[in-house]
Structure 1
Amino acid sequence: GPGLLLGLLGAFAYGWMRSPNRNVLVGAVNAASWLIAVLAVFAAGRLLTRKGNYTRTMRAMGFAQVIFLLELLTFIPALTPILRAATTLWHFIALWIAAAEAHDTRGWRTLILPLVAIVMFVLVFIGAAAILAGLQLTASTFLSALGWSPS
């Protein structure tokens, strides 16, 4: 839906505008990373409240990503430092509120939600790296068994 579209567009715009030479690949990787970040925030919210679901989290975080569309104004060099600082802070607060609403957190759980989300984010990326390393090993072994030497 619109939350997913806004989330991916916001993440793409953020990566593209902050990369050297406006690299489209950086924007695409940032958009893919956003989906993993949604998973981490979902895991954190679920751990704290046992409420919410991935779709609700993605929708809320997607609408929070709209803030990064302001990065498009960094084409105006005089506004770049102010916009980057403002969008980063505003985005952090918007994500915090979005995640809290998506998981219906209250009180102290709302306060520690960002910390738990950061821990979950690190764990999700460690897990993804382990899976990719295993995939690489499997592909290498499979190709060697076929007589092909991976380069």
Structure 2
Amino acid sequence: MTLDENKMEVLAQHHMLRALLVNVGDLARQVAEGDGAHAELLRDGARQLVRGLLSHMADEERLLEEMHREGQAPDAEHLAAFQHNHVHQRELIVSINARLESIHATKRLGELVEALTHAVTLDMEHEEESLFGTPPQPLAPAEVTPMVAARA
């Protein structure tokens, strides 16, 4: 794949993840504000988000390794920072995923997942800017159609 094709693949995945982040984040805010009726839907959405994020990180690392082999990757300093960020992100995701099942207070569940969606959004924006010089592309909830939106 060319550099542009790899870039477009990563950005397309980010676009889909942003859609999920918007939906799950909105649901998390509702639950954090006391709408406990959506707690299980939030857990399902958070699980879907965790799976999507872990899969995306593996794809992204594969694409960057391919770019590096072909001499198209960012410099070693950027790659090292990228890999460091992924280690941090995985630790955060694994920690939150482990807590999803054990949190019984719905307000706390909403707060935790809302914090996750905010942190991941900021990390993606930083990653896009540092790797590609691309400004973030925010989404409105109306633009999303992942499973969480369809079940709400």
Pairwise same-fold verdict (TM > 0.5): no
Structure with bigger gyration radius:
1
State the TM-score, normalized to the length of structure 1. 0.32
Could you tell me the TM-score, scaled by structure 2's length? Answer: 0.32
